[in-house]
Structures are given as C-alpha cells and as structure tokens.
Structure 1
Amino acid sequence: MAAQVPLIPVGLEAARRESHEAGMCDVEEAALQRETRLRLAKFNSMRGKEVKPGEFWDVVVITAADRQQELAYQQQIADKLAQKELPLGVRYHVFSDPPGPKIGNGGSTLYALHCLQQTYPRELETFTVLLIHAGGYSQRLPNASALGKIFTALPLGNPIYQMLELKLALYVDFPGNMNPGVVVTCADDIELYSGGDFQVRFDRNGIIALAHPSTLSIGTTHGVFVLDPPGHTYQDLEYRTCASYLHKPSVQKMRQSGAVNTRGDRSGPHLASEVVYTDSLFYMDHGTARLLTGFFQELGDVGCEIDAYGDFLQALGPDATLEYTENTANVSKAESKLIEVRKKIYFLLRGTPFTVIALNKSKFYHVGTMEEYIYHLTDDPVLGAELGFQSSVFSIFPDRDENGRVCVIQSVLDTKTRVSPCSVIEYSRLGPDVSVGKYCIVSNLCINSRSNIPDKTFLSSISLMIDGRPMYATILVSTEDDLKKNVASLADLKSLRIFGRSFLECLEVWGLGSSDRLFSGDEKSLSLWNARIFPGCVTLQKSVEVALEMLRGLHGQPSASVDGVKRLSIEEILAYKDVKDMLNYRKMLSKEIASEGQKEMLDG
C-alpha cells in the first residue's frame, strides 16, 4: 500500500508528542497498567451486587443542564440498575441546574450540595459522595449530545462500559480511604495512576486535589498548582502543600509563580525536563461543603457562570489574591454579578486548608472532542493497553487483521461491510454495501443501501417526538467542524465552514437559502449548532438516506435537493429527542447480538 499523509489533526499530533515527552518508562507504565486493571476487576466484582457500608460510595450525584437532560439521565441509570450494570444499594441522584442563566460547574456544585442537604438533612455528613459534572450538550462530541457525555460508550467490559462505569471503576478505592466528604469530578476525563506502596487518601480537613505532572503547554489549558518544595525522597505519591492555584495560566505566569518543576527538583526520571502539576478531581470535607451550601442559600440565585476549579481553588493557598476575580477571559458570558460572586467565594474559602496529592506516576486523558474520542478509542496504543480496549466489543463484526485500529461498539455489521482504520462505529447496523472512511464517527445508524461515508465524517441519527408523532433526524458534519463557532449576522455566514468548505457554498449545493429562518434560537448566535440543515423524516431509514444524499452532493455526485424535506437544527433535535425510543433501539440491537452469540456457541 502506498504511503499516505496522516489525517491526524495538528492539535492531536502535538498532544501525542507531549504525551510521549512526559511519558513513563516501561516499568512504570507496567505498574500503572497493573493497578488500573486491578481497579477494573474490583469494580466488575461489584456490578449488579449489593455493596456493603464503606465498600463503595454512599451517594453518586450526576449534574444535568436542565430538567429534560435530568430525566434522560435518570432513565438511563434506572435501566443500568435493572440490568445489573451498576453496584446496588447506592443512592444515585441526578440534579439539574435551576432555570435561568448558565451557572457553570461551580454553580452546579453549589446547587447539588444544596439538594443533598435538603434530601439528607441528618445523614449527609456521614456520607461519602461522588459528584460528577455532566451538564452541557457536548457540542464538541455530538454523538454524546442526546444521551449525555457521562453515557459515552467505550470499547470495554461486558456489559459495555460507558464513561459512568469507567469513572466508578477508576475511583473504586477512594470510598474506603476517605473521611466523609465530597469528591468533585467531570464526565469527560480519565485519570490513571500508580501509587506504588501508597493509597490516595482523602483524610485531611479542607480541600484535597489530585495533581498530575504535565508539559507546560498542557498547563496553559488546565489548572496548575504552585507547590511548596518537596521532601528529599522521591515517591510515586506525595502529599504537598500548595501556595496557590493558577487557572489556565500563560507559560510566563507559570514561571513567575514558581509552578515549573525541573529534573533538579527530582520530579521523577520519567518526566520531561520541565513539568507543571495540573488538576483533575478534588475532595472537600463536609465542613467545607457546609460553607458552600450556606453561601448558596444566602445567595438565593447564582445568576452567573462560575467554575468549580477556577473560582473555588484559586481562592486557596497562602499566596492567593483577589486578582483572578476580575479576569473573565475563560467565561462564555460574563454576567454583571460575576465579579461580586467571585469575591464572596474568595473571602468565604480563604484560609481553608489546601493539600495537593502529587501523583508522579499518573496519566490524565481528556475525551471531550470528536478528534480526542477517535484517537483514544482507535489510535492510542497506550490508553488502549492501560484499559484493555478492544477493536470490537459486543458486536457482530468479522475480526479482520486490517481492521485492528477500528472501534466497533454494540453494532451489527455485515461480513462485507468495509470500515477503514481510525473510525468508531457505535449502536449501528450497516449492510454489505456500506463503506466507512477513515477518522469517522458513525452512531445510531441503520444503513442497508449502497453507501460510501467519506473520511472525517460524523453521522448520527436521533429519535424524535414532535407533536405526538415519532420522527428521526440525522446529523452530518465533519469530525473537524467547530459546531460552537458563531457569527453575528447573515452577512458573516461566509466565515462558517462545514466539511472544510464555505457554509454558503454547501447551502447552495443543497438548494437552501440563507434567510433568518435558517437558524433556530438566538438570532445573534448563528452557528452550525443551530442551523436548520439536518433532515427530519418519519423513518430512520429515510432520514439517513437524505443525509447520505447531502454528503454525495458535497462530493460532486448527483443528489436531490433537500429544500422540501423538514429540516432541524441540532438545538431543536435535542429539544425533541425521544430518549425511550433510542434506548429501546439499543436494547433491540443488544438482544440480537446476544442471540447471535448464543447461536455461535451452540454451533461451535
């Protein structure tokens, strides 16, 4: 085969290089992989069984963006419990943000703590709580938009792991090694670590955060800890005091603040010459949680977007100052009361004990974008080995050597279906004349006709209920498209791009005009997210056929105009989504795959 230019985006190529530079030696990697597999095995032994007090979390909370998302999450958790995919005897809750302005994961933390206090007024302070932030609509990974990024499927486990199961597995040792309190984490990241002879213990007052050695470049997009000098002996896991916390700092700021560690600081032989310690999850004791709950009740309404990391942790440490409270660079919409609320949080938390656990042999992975999702599930040999990812899990799919870098999850593929490397297929049924290109995501589809899905295509169908009638819509974009980018007016539409081409050019190919009615929602925010271009039809098959017609048109092949077809934006698709029908479709696939597996066993 002739050599080809790799399709991996520049940003991911840089991430791979940085990961290698700050990577581990083979012995350390083996230790991390061994400890990770032990945690997975421990969690597997708990699935579908009643857990004993102190053996697992007392409470698991998932936050949601709104009431509709809350109901979708609750239904999926109920299904998982019924199918014995989660430990039993645990109090699982979903709390959606109150109506009004976006409040960020900091506001969600305050509101969730308030809800817990209302639900368990007497018992709460004896509980170990895991709080997972999963609100938002996953605009950078739209196959997770309808059912939630905490329910993103992974090529692992039987029954299949989603991000929820993976988070619970990786944190399975925490409840038995912590004082009552709350661990706060996000839904789209993965933390792996080797503690050697030591365990992560959340057994100190105040707030305790985990820290991971990273390159300076990675530090500019995360939170960075300014740690006091270490002791004389190098350990895999170290408790360090923290002078201050920097949120997405510049390299210059990291150097000025003393956040940069070098080999001379004996940060470990596996690290790059210069590293910083970046954040992931953190623990707070119930005393601190009580402070925040009281603050929320006094505030009455958050009314602005605050960050659980940037606005809580920046208030901690002896070197913390008020300076950060007026920096709104990382806020999507700076409400008028934001600075006032930040200052109140600063004075509330100032002086709270702050400990950082430096995990010198650890990895932090983010799986929140289409490009990251494809890379980590198909083309990242390190994470795949650490977690035991498979190229095909719970699927009917011929195991061919040339498809070793393909990821197929709970799908039915014909023996003649052609899938190129570095593509993810989930919850789909593909016929014999279907060809999938490289770096694609195919989700919730049913394709029986002759179809060619080009490289870097995202294609996903969603069940809808509109005015009491079932419908189906299919989203088609490039895996490199920025769905969040918006322009202020129709005159600026030429700067929007889809499938690497001008949005206006694609509209012309599809026979569509650029009127005000082309977009849903706020007219001041025109984006691919709220562009009414995605076909909605009465059958799943028809919706997919129209979407494929649109793809053919972009590649110079004959295609019909979609002007007469009902068109919806992703924003509208999510508003009309029929979660029950989507889950029923997945259950139907599951039964078919299980039945085929039993048949093969009998034939064997």
Structure 2
Amino acid sequence: MLWTAVVLTACDSKQKEAYETQIGQLRQRLKSFSENFYVFEDEFHPFKIGSGGATLKVLQQLFALFGDRFNRSRFLVIHSGGLSKRLPIASAVGKIFLCLPNEKTFLEMKVQSYRRILEMMCPGVLICASDTLEYIPYDMQFGDPSSDVVLFAHPSNVDIATQHGVYVLKSGSLHKVLQKPSLEKLKSTNALFTGDFSDRVTAQNYYASELFAYTDSFYIISSRIAMDLAKLGKKTDLNCELCCYGDFLGGLGVELDDDYLDTNELVKSWRIELLNIFRDASVEFVRLPSDSFFHFGTSKELLCHFKLNSTFYNRFLTRERYHNVILSSVASSTKIASTSVIQLCDLSFGAEVGENCLLYGCKNGKFTHVPDGIIATTIAIRRHSQKQSEYVTLILSIGDELKSEKDHLRWFDHDLKNKEKISLWDIPLFPVCESMEESLEMSLRMCNDFERRDNICLLSIDDVVQMKDCDAILRYQKELISRLKTVSK
C-alpha cells in the first residue's frame, strides 16, 4: 500500500526548491512509499501562521488537486517549514533531509516507520513533525472505521509533560486535553501515572516512583474532519498564528479544559471555529510504548540519539551499519571522537575532531583542529551584488541558546559587548569568504580570537539563512556523494 501523497511544508520559495531538488535525488528510494510527493510553500503573511495555519492551507491544496478522490485517499503531512533555530546545521536545507547514521534521510525513515500506520488507517490525513521519529510496534492495533481522530501518545516524564500537550484519560478513553500544564494541574486532573504507565497516582504511591503523563506524538484525522478544516481555511482569512496540536486538538475529549478559550481574541475566535469541528469527534486513543518517541530538535538531542547503543540506536539501527562519519570524505590521518558526528564533510586534508562535536557540510584546505563541543556548518550564500557564491561557516558551542535575547551575549570566551538586547541568531559574528576551505579556517580562528575589523564582512545566522544559495549547497553535496561512490567501487 502507498500513500496517495506525502506533503512537506516549506517556509519560503528557496526552501521549497531545495526540498523538491532533494526529493528528486531520492526519487528511486522513495517510490515504494507514496504515489506522489509535494512541497507546499507557506503563503506570504505579515505574521506567522504556524503549523495550524499551514495545515489549513495544505488541506485546501490537496482538495484542489484530488477533488472527489480526496475522501478515499490517505495523506501524510510533515510539517517541515521552520528555520531550525535550535539545530542550525539544518537551517539551510531542512531537518527532514538530514541523514542518520545509517545514511538514510529523516524523510526516508519517517515513511518507513509509518508504513505500519498506513496499512491500518482508514482514508484520512496523518499529521506529524519533521524532527521526530516514532517506533511503531509490529503488533500495535488500531483502525476503528468510526473514528474521526486517532491520537498517538507516548509516556513522558513530568518535566517534558509540562512543556507539551497532555492527554487526560478516564477508563482508557480521552477525557481532556491539556497544553503545557503545570505540575499542580497534572495532579488535579489525574493526568499522572506511575512508572509502569498503568496505575493512577494516589496519595499512597505519589512519592514511590517516577511519574509520567501521556503526551502528544502525531495524529490522524478522518477525511470528513480534513474536509471541514479545508473549508474553514478557505472561508476565513488567517490573521494569527495557530498550532496544529494545541489549537486543533484542545477541543477534544469529554471535558473542555478551562484554559482552551482563555486566550487573546484572535486566537479565541479561531479556537471557537475549531471547537465546532472537533468537539463531537469520535476519538481513538493509541498508546505507544516507552522509549518509542525520539525528538531531534536540538544539537544535543541529535548527538545523544546518534550515539552507538543509545535507546534510539537500539530501536532503529541495530540491523544496519553504523557510522558517525556520515557521507563524508576523511583523510587517513583524521581522528574523530566517537561522541561526535560529521555529515557531508570533506576533510581530505585531515582533522582532529574533539568530543561532542557536530559538523555538517564543511570542507578544509589543511589539517584542521576542532575543539570539544563545537557545532560547525558551512553555508553557501549569494549576496545581491555578487555573481558568484560566497561562504559562511557558522561556529557555535553545543550549549548555545540561539533564540534567547540577552543584554550581554557571550560567544565562546568572548564578551560581545552588544549595546541592546539581541540573540546569537541575530548578531553579526561570522565572516564571509570566497571558498569553503577559507570559511571554515577563518571562523574557527575567530572563535578563538574574535575581533571586529572594518575589512571583514560579518553576517548573522539570520542573514546567512536569508541569503542561502541552496543550489550551490546541494551541488556540493551531490558532487561529494558521487565522489564517495566512485571511491567505494
């Protein structure tokens, strides 16, 4: 069985073109999973529309493409249109096309993982994120044809539950949906379970074992619900940011959470419309086992999951050859710590890469030393005044928080002396160079000896992402992979 269509969302035209190019390169490997692959670009709005707004637009486009066949089809929608601010190695060409240690992309692994879901689901739409992988047990069962919504959930500890959507159950059925609830609310709504995920928390066992709640993984909506959402998006102009989890699913269950409609007027008006669609929906609840949900939203998470014999490795990679040097060319003199990962790099002149490093798309021109805890990615850019591609290497520490605005920023050991509140994403730190080799060398040098000079053009990460030259990036990757295949013959 094949998906009728797999849809990726893109935040702009450059990302859309890059995704389409990469899908084309993977066409032979993907053809056994779906009849069609589409990339839908988020329409321009003067504000963010979020994953919820993107979902409404995707459903409208799918209905326009498939017409009467829409109600008989099975679609997979992967939200992949972000800038990956917490995983900057993916900011240029997207998380969904990063490779795993088995040299398969996240896209390939997702469609492979969801094949069991596809075989059991009724016509409808599966909605998921691009930076997660879920382990689906072979003996898992679901597929009640009367269900309007199928929710997949996994057990999470209390710290994680307070930052995500939580499903409150009664007698095994969905009672209420919470969004980023406090510990007090988790307790008062009986959302917590003890360590075996079956017993309710009571006064007697509260301190006896670690506590868990069921948090959102991914979900399926029926063709009827999908049609209603497409109609809603068509008749109502988007005027705020919506989430395809919190805003869409918050109205499910027997009891509505008090916080669902306690929000600003714009979001509230949308939630009322969504409530009319989801309120009386029949819900099937599917529990995934522990250690089945893996998030790759940050560099630390990626390195953790990519380690040999990690929980993720044991779930997904035990039958395949493991690499922490992924689709890369390295000299025999190169030493790479086992806790580090390099991907699509050309280190033909040799390198010594320390512990817990993450390198993507870098190329050196001489022996290179990379200290512990470094994130590095070289991105081709095209400035308006330049006919040729130029290069910027982003060098960061594994623990850097790129989105946080601060009065006093530090970059490695350097006080950046910023005069206003700004984030590492927005401050110009990274030199523009004529070649990939020079770019890597200069950025590494500057993280040790940072000094602003009039003759060096510095760009922020935001600048680099806006100026990215996806054609040049993908051309380098294609040439490197082709060379690796030639060498391996």
Same fold (TM over 0.5): yes
CA separation in 2, counterparts of 1:419 and 1:89?
38
Show the counterpart of 2:412: 499
Q: Which runs of 5+ in 1 are unaligned?
A: 1-54, 230-239, 328-333, 394-406, 505-513, 516-523, 555-559, 599-604
For the residues of structure 2 that align with 1:470 and 1:210, how far apart are their CA atoms?
Answer: 45
In structure 2, how many angstroms separate the alpha carbons of the residues matched to 1:245 and 1:88? 32
Q: How does 1:317-466 map to 2 (within 5 A)?
A: 317-321=253-257, 323-327=259-263, 337-360=266-289, 363-378=292-307, 381-388=310-317, 393=323, 407-466=324-383
Q: 2:269 and 2:415 mapped to 1: Cα distance?
A: 42
Q: Distance in 2 between matches of 1:463 and 1:264?
A: 49
Deviation at 1:217, TM superposition (A): 2.4
- Residue 37 of structure 1 corresponds to which residue in structure 2? none
In the alignment, the residues of structure 2 paired with residue 538 and residue 590 of structure 1 have an alpha-carbon distance, to the nearest angstrom, of: 23
What residue ranges of structure 2 are gaps of 5+ in the alignment? 201-207
Q: Given residue 475 of structure 2, which amino acid in structure 1 is its aligned partner?
A: N
What residue is the counterpart of 1:248 in the other structure? 180
Whole-Å Cα distance in 1 between the matches of residues 253 and 446 of structure 2?
A: 55
Give the AA of the match of 1:534: F
**What is the aligned partner in structure 1 of residue 205 from structure 2?**
none
Shift of 1:316: 0.8
SS of match in other structure, 1:526? coil
Aligned partner of 2:166 among 224, 233, 238: 224
Q: TM-score, normalised by structure 1?
A: 0.75
Letter in 2 for 1:479: I
Which residue pairs with 1:168 in the alignment? Answer: 111
1:576 is displaced (CA, Å) by 1.7
Match of 1:589 in 2: 480
Residue pair 2:174, 2:253 contacting (<8 A) in 1 also: yes
Native 8 Å contact 1:546 1:562 kept in 2: no
1:344 Cα deviation from its structure 2 partner: 2.4
Q: Among 34, 41, 48, which residue is 1:96 paired with? A: 41
Deviation at 1:380?
5.5
Measure how far apart 1:262 and its partner are: 3.4
Which residue in the other structure is 1:311 paired with? 247
* CA apart distance, 1:304: 1.0
Q: Which runs of 4+ in 1 moved over 3 A?
A: 83-86, 262-268, 271-274, 389-393, 560-563
Q: CA deviation at 1:272?
A: 5.8
Structure 1 Cα separation of the partners of residues 165 and 34 of structure 2: 35
Task: Pick closer, same or farther for the CA change 1:310–1:102 going to 2, 3 Å.
Answer: same
125-134 or 70-79, larger mean C-alpha shift: 70-79
On the 8 A contact 2:382/2:390 being kept in 1, the answer is yes
Structure 2 matches for 1:20-419, cutoff 5 A? 55-81=1-27, 83-87=28-32, 90-100=35-45, 101-156=47-102, 160-194=103-137, 196=139, 198-201=140-143, 203-229=145-171, 240-262=172-194, 266=198, 274-299=211-236, 301-321=237-257, 323-327=259-263, 337-360=266-289, 363-378=292-307, 381-388=310-317, 393=323, 407-419=324-336
Deviation of 1:87 (Å)? 2.7
| Structure 2 residue aligned with 1:573 | 464
Q: Please give the secondary structure, in 1, of the residue aligned with 2:247.
A: coil
CA distance in 1, matches of 2:376, 2:7: 31
Alignment partners' CA distance in 2, 1:272 and 1:202: 34
Following superposition, the deviation at residue 75 of structure 1 comes to 1.6
How far off is 1:361 after superposition? 5.2
d(CA) in 1 for partners of 2:196, 2:477 = 54
Q: Is the 8 A contact 1:244 1:318 kept in 2?
A: yes
Q: Confirm or deny: 8 A CA contact 2:134 2:293 kept in the other structure.
A: yes
Q: 1:194 and 1:583 mapped to 2: Cα distance?
A: 35
Counterpart of 1:530 (choices 393, 409, 426) is 426
Deviation, 1:93, is 0.9
The 1-side partners of 2:427 and 2:477 are apart by 28
TM-fit CA distance, 1:92: 0.8
**Does the 8 Å CA contact 2:197/2:212 hold for their aligned counterparts?**
no
Question: Deviation digits for residues 365-421 of structure 1, max 9, x if unmatched?
Answer: 11110110111112662211221167854xxxxxxxxxxxxx110001111112123
Q: Is the 8 A contact 2:381 2:468 kept in 1?
A: yes
Letter in 1 for 2:214: Y
Q: Determine the structure 2 residue equivalent to 1:549.
A: 445
Counterpart code for 2:288 = L
Q: Does structure 1 conserve the Cα–Cα contact (< 8 Å) formed by 2:40 and 2:58?
A: yes
Q: SS at 1:480's partner residue?
A: coil
Q: Deviations over 1:507-559 (max 9, x none)?
A: xxxxxxx57xxxxxxxx9732112222111221122122112212316xxxxx
1:218 and 1:228 map into 2 onto residues whose CA distance is 21
**Is the 8 Å Cα contact of residues 178 and 257 (structure 2) preserved in structure 1?**
no
Q: Which residue of 1 aligns with 2:203?
A: none
**Which digits, 9 at most, give the CA deviation of each residue in 1:433-471, with x for residues without a partner?**
521111111111111323321111111101122233211
Q: Percent identity?
A: 29
The amino acid of 1:566's aligned partner reads C
Output the CA distance in 2 between the equivalents of 1:573 and 1:62: 23
Check the 8 A contact 2:365/2:438 in 1, yes or no.
Answer: no
Contact 1:183 1:281 in 2 (8 A): yes
- Going from structure 1 to structure 2, the CA distance change for 1:241 and 1:543 (only over 3 Å counts) comes to same
Q: How many residues align?
A: 478
Deviations, residues 232-262 of structure 1 (Å, cap 9, x unaligned): xxxxxxxx42011111211211111121223
TM-score (norm 2): 0.91
Distance 2:32 2:446 in 1: 45
1:359 to partner: Cα distance: 2.6
